[in-house]
């Protein structure tokens, strides 16, 4: 410790929002270099390397081979797949001295595809899995929580190449098994959830989420084993209803009812139903949003949801990506005078009813609805005049949306789409993502091989990522306590932290002697040999979080040292002669 390049801090860094960020900075593991950019200090770098080692071992075990690409990449392959534009502002772009355009790789599907295309030409060469551990760059709109969402970060990305779907399914399963092993070894609580494949395209897709209150992802689970990122939940739509004997739509005066609650109250007071009171879920709420397409064009979009549900902006954004979505602001309304704020609906009733929303309507504004709004459902919704609503507006009879969209919030207690029970919601940190990409990249970049019959076929691919630097923070987040970091054994920078607690030479010598013995026994040791008070040393040992802390101090007079378990706080005194054996047993989990 007297030589280690480290300084622990007594104060929390001002920009730290979450415990892992706070402790990693305070314990001297990382330092901020810029927004979303961190430098690794010796302790932090050892944790990062440990995670890399685990990931390498498990990747190698399934026969994946390690390669390494540049982080600085030419733009052409990314143009060929459309991602040069699809990735939008998240790509760091740059020009060389000749004016040629480059990017700092946000992920490497294109490069792997081209490399395999360069080298392989026959089905006999497949299956193949390649991986790299590489620094990635994304100009994230909101870098946050230290290493959890950086603009430069370390990712393991691997790619499988197969001749057919069956092969892809096997490669995917092998990766999934490897991921289970990796995350079990990293030692945190995780869930595997159905996921969206986002900007990547492709089909089957799962995420590994660390369960964490501070996570940015929300996932749902059911008692019957359904688990999904909330973005990926697809509700089971009800059956269409007959509407032959439904009454005709009728417009009513509903003054001062700009909200769903005021509308429901008024409907119950003035137009009571015979069977039961009106509820928010009888109303159709139409929410206007402003969409910015990848090419920069902007246009409104209206989403219709049952009035008892909000539009979930994350679910919506996931559906619309790579286009971006923002709320429609008050100053956007004047440019669209047909949209009456608070009284928006799909139909206008001037003389004849006329469609107001939809690509075929007078406004040509795209109109998407929640899947619950099936044909035959009847709604109370805005009549597109201030203070007026329409009742008994029947979907499929009176209005036809342009399509459906999964953007309504998912609530605690909603039924799981597979009928496996009520959903509960929790938060998590995305640690890994595996998906069956299919042929999108191989097609775009012309990766074909000859099959058994001498016919050229397009290769099918899988893509698999682990956030290595994010894992450092996620494990810290899941394991730290009120005193500091608290590493699982496989990740800790050192196995044992030996504290020489006392000024006397005998203390220093006994501590150093024990450290040497441990070192010779193959245990990595951090020895606190500084001339600072025992109190400072104890506090630092707790902040830094090595799993075993050995205190050589006052007890030495009685021939004992103290062995502490950082996680449980358990302390035992052991006689000096047995110390080595006892500590080795603790380290090796005996």
Residues that bind ligand ATP (CB under 6 A): 107, 138, 140, 149-150, 153, 155, 198, 430-433, 465, 467, 469-470
Shortest distance (Å) from residue 140 CB to ligand ATP: 5
Does residue 127 have a cis bond before it (omega within 30 degrees)?
yes
Nearer to ligand ATP, 83 or 149 (CB): 149
Instruction: State how far the Cα of 262 lies from the Cα of 260, in Å rounded to an integer.
Output: 6
Among residues 309, 310, 307, the alpha carbon closest in space to that of 264 is found at: 307
Does residue 322 have a cis bond before it (omega within 30 degrees)?
yes
- Specify whether the CB–CB gap between 541 and 496 falls below 8 A: no
Q: Give whole-number Cα distances, 512 to 376, 546, 557, 586, in Å.
A: 81, 17, 16, 19
Nearer to ligand ATP, 150 or 417 (CB): 150
Nearer to ligand ATP, 148 or 311 (CB): 148
Shortest distance (Å) from residue 127 CB to ligand ATP: 22
- Specify whether the CB–CB gap between 569 and 545 falls below 8 A: no
Instruction: State how far the Cα of 104 lies from the Cα of 36, in Å rounded to an integer.
Output: 15
Nearer to ligand ATP, 175 or 378 (CB): 175
Instruction: Tell me whether strands 298-306 and 366-369 are parallel, antiparallel or unpaired.
Output: parallel
Please name the residues in contact with 443: beta carbons below 8 A apart, sequence gap of 6 or more.
458
Shortest distance (Å) from residue 212 CB to ligand ATP: 12
CA dihedral (183, 184, 188, 189) positive or negative: positive
- At 525 the three-state DSSP class reads strand
Residue with token string 């196995």: 495
Nearer to ligand ATP, 476 or 523 (CB): 476
Shortest distance (Å) from residue 152 CB to ligand ATP: 8
Nearer to ligand ATP, 183 or 494 (CB): 183
Shortest distance (Å) from residue 463 CB to ligand ATP: 8
Nearer to ligand ATP, 206 or 542 (CB): 206
Residue with token string 């000749």: 98
208: left (phi over 0), alpha (psi -120 to 50) or beta: beta
Shortest distance (Å) from residue 435 CB to ligand ATP: 8
Nearer to ligand ATP, 198 or 376 (CB): 198
Q: Which tokens sit at 386?
A: 């201030």
Nearer to ligand ATP, 153 or 349 (CB): 153
Nearer to ligand ATP, 149 or 194 (CB): 149
Shortest distance (Å) from residue 195 CB to ligand ATP: 8
Shortest distance (Å) from residue 129 CB to ligand ATP: 16
Q: Which tokens sit at 534?
A: 């025992």
- CB count within 10 Å of CB 445 equals 19
Cα radius of gyration (the chain): 30
Shortest distance (Å) from residue 529 CB to ligand ATP: 36
Shortest distance (Å) from residue 269 CB to ligand ATP: 46
- Specify whether the CB–CB gap between 454 and 461 falls below 8 A: no
Instruction: State how far the Cα of 152 lies from the Cα of 136, in Å rounded to an integer.
Output: 6
Shortest distance (Å) from residue 467 CB to ligand ATP: 2
Nearer to ligand ATP, 435 or 487 (CB): 435
Q: Please give the residue whose beta carbon sits closest to ligand ATP in the complex.
A: 467
Residue with token string 């191989």: 442
Please name the residues in contact with 177: beta carbons below 8 A apart, sequence gap of 6 or more.
62
Please name the residues in contact with 580: beta carbons below 8 A apart, sequence gap of 6 or more.
514, 517, 518, 521
Nearer to ligand ATP, 88 or 502 (CB): 88
Shortest distance (Å) from residue 149 CB to ligand ATP: 4
Nearer to ligand ATP, 107 or 254 (CB): 107
Q: Is 499 exposed, middle or buried (0-12, 13-18, 19+ CB in 10 A)?
A: buried
Shortest distance (Å) from residue 533 CB to ligand ATP: 38
- Specify whether the CB–CB gap between 18 and 213 falls below 8 A: no
Length of the chain: 590
Among residues 574, 543, 561, 586, the alpha carbon closest in space to that of 501 is found at: 561
Nearer to ligand ATP, 467 or 478 (CB): 467
Shortest distance (Å) from residue 217 CB to ligand ATP: 7
Nearest-10 Cα torsion for 485, 486, 488, 492 = 60
- Specify whether the CB–CB gap between 500 and 555 falls below 8 A: no
């Amino acid at each position: 410790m007297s030589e280690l390049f480290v300084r622990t801090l007594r104060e929390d860094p001002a920009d730290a929002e979450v415990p892992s960020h706070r402790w990693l900075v305070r314990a001297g593991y990382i330092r901020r270099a810029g927004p979303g950019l961190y430098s690794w200090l010796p302790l932090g770098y050892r944790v990062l390397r440990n995670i890399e080692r685990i990931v390498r071992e498990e990747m190698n075990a399934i026969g994946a081979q390690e390669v390494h690409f540049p982080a600085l990449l030419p733009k052409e392959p990314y143009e060929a797949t459309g991602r040069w534009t699809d990735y939008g502002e998240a790509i760091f772009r740059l020009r060389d001295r000749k004016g040629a355009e480059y990017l700092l790789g946000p992920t490497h599907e294109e490069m792997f595809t081209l490399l395999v295309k360069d080298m392989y030409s026959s089905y006999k060469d497949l299956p193949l899995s390649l991986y790299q551990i590489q620094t990635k760059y994304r100009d994230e709109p909101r870098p946050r929580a230290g290493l959890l969402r950086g603009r430069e970060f370390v990712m393991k990305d691997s790619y499988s190449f197969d001749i057919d779907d069956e092969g892809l399914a096997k490669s995917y399963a092998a990766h999934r098994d490897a991921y289970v092993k990796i995350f079990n070894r990293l030692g945190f609580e995780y869930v595997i959830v159905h996921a969206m494949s986002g900007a990547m395209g492709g089909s089957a897709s799962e995420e590994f989420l660390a369960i964490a209150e501070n996570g940015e992802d929300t996932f749902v689970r059911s008692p019957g084993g359904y688990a999904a990122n909330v973005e990926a939940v697809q509700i089971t739509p009800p059956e269409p209803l007959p509407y032959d004997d439904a009454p005709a739509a009728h417009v009513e005066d509903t003054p001062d009812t700009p909200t769903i609650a005021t509308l429901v109250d008024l409907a119950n007071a003035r137009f009571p139903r015979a069977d039961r009171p009106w509820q928010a879920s009888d109303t159709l709420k139409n929410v206007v949003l402003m969409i910015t397409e990848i090419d920069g064009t902007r246009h409104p979009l209206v989403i219709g949801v049952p009035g008892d549900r909000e539009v979930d902006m994350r679910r919506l954004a996931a559906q619309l990506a790579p286009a971006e979505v923002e709320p429609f602001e008050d100053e956007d309304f004047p440019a669209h005078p047909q949209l009456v704020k608070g009284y928006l609906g799909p139909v206008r009733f001037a003389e004849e009813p006329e469609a107001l929303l939809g690509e075929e309507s007078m406004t040509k504004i795209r109109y998407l609805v929640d899947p619950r709004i099936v044909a035959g459902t009847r709604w109370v919704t805005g009549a597109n005049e201030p203070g007026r609503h329409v009742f008994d507006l029947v979907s499929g009879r009176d209005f036809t949306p342009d399509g459906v969209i999964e953007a309504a919030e998912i609530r605690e207690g909603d039924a799981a789409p597979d009928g496996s029970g009520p959903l509960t919601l929790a938060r998590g940190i995305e640690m890994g993502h595996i998906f069956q990409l299919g042929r999108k990249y191989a097609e775009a970049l012309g990766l074909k091989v000859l099959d058994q019959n001498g016919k050229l076929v397009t290769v099918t691919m899988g893509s698999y990522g682990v956030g290595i630097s994010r894992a450092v923070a996620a494990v810290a987040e899941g394991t730290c306590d009120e005193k500091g970091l608290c590493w699982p054994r496989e990740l800790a920078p050192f196995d044992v932290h030996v504290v020489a607690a006392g000024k006397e030479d005998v203390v220093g010598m006994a501590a150093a002697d024990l450290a040497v013995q441990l070192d010779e026994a193959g245990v990595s040791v951090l020895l606190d040999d500084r001339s600072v008070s025992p109190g400072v040393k104890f506090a630092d040992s707790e902040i830094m979080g090595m799993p075993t802390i050995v205190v050589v101090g006052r007890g030495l007079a009685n021939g004992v040292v103290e062995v502490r378990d950082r996680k449980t706080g358990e302390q035992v005194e052991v006689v000096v002669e047995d110390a080595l054996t006892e500590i080795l047993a603790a380290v090796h989990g005996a």
